[in-house]
Amino acid sequence: MIKVVDFGSQLTQNIARRIREFGVYTEIVPFHTSADKVLEDDLEGIILSGGQFSVYDSEAPKCSKEIFELGVPVLGICYGLQLLTEIFGGKISSAENREYGEARIDVLKDNRLLIPGINETNLKVWMSHGDIVNEPPPDYEVIARSDKGHIAGLRNGDIYAVQFHPEVDHTDHGRQILNNFIEICGADKTWDPSQDYDRIVRDVSERLRGRVGVGGISGGVDSSSVSVLVNKIVGQDYHPIFVDNGLLRLDEAAEVMRSLESYGLGINLVDAGERFLLKLEGVSDPDEKRRIIGHEFIDVFQEQARKIEGASYLVQGTLYPDVIESVPLYEKSSV
């Protein structure tokens, strides 16, 4: 397993996805995760994501130095390179002009990250940073520089860092660079999403067998997928609830019911349109409308759920990216 330590980059999900595409199981963890926690679960490597901060910002997210002492290869990307430099005693300063967009780097030394499978020493890459490394930490060698002469790659043993983003398509050979890091880690390329599906089915079956539950369904991908999955496992003991709040598109409720009919879902349709519209009468502020709709939905859903005898659990469909993206940088996910 490779873990991606998230420092708030918009591209963190890209990193994880690229690694998974090579068949390596990957998890994203917040930057404040302890080294002991990061080490769990057969850890084979660590990637430090980018981020929008300067390492000298008072609110800059920083990981423990112990992360680098876990005995596995590490790859720092963009902010990850700058953080590594700061932790190990290198020097960083603000660039006169922020580097954003296409750039070129020269690979200066033979190394296992930027050479195998590439066979070029001048690469087009994608940059997005405002700080530059003036002096590498002691014992770190410079393995690449940008066309402006700035340090673009560092290495010390199996700890690597690059100032560009190999996880985006704009970087030539970006996937190959990430695959090279996987090879450095010696990571097992046997992960298959179907294995997760089988595990989920087993776990859910053990937990919910013989129990009655409810869940909201809207006709969207998330709620429909989880409803179909749970229905396959527990059958008629699962009761999805569709609330028509009167604010849907014309005939949308009927379309949802028709589209899901073939999956054998016993959907409980609640026509609460008049109720919602009465609550919204005379309200013009958009935020107030959203608040009213949210509270009323909860009330309607709970009333319907109480009618289902023996209901003891709630099913919620949430995408993995939502778990990460909806969490403030300094807080834990409640999902």
Q: Active-site positions? A: 78, 165, 167
How many other C-beta atoms lie within 10 A of the C-beta of residue 77?
26
| Residue 49 φ then ψ, to 5° | -75, 175
Q: Name the CA dihedral angle for 179, 184, 187, 191, rounded to a multiple of 10 degrees.
A: 0
Judge whether 231 and 238 are in contact, CB under 8 Å: yes
**Nearest alpha carbon to residue 81 among 152, 170, 178, 146:** 152
Judge whether 45 and 2 are in contact, CB under 8 Å: yes
d(CA 272, CA 247): 10
Lookup result for tokens 């699962």: 238
Amino acid at 174: G
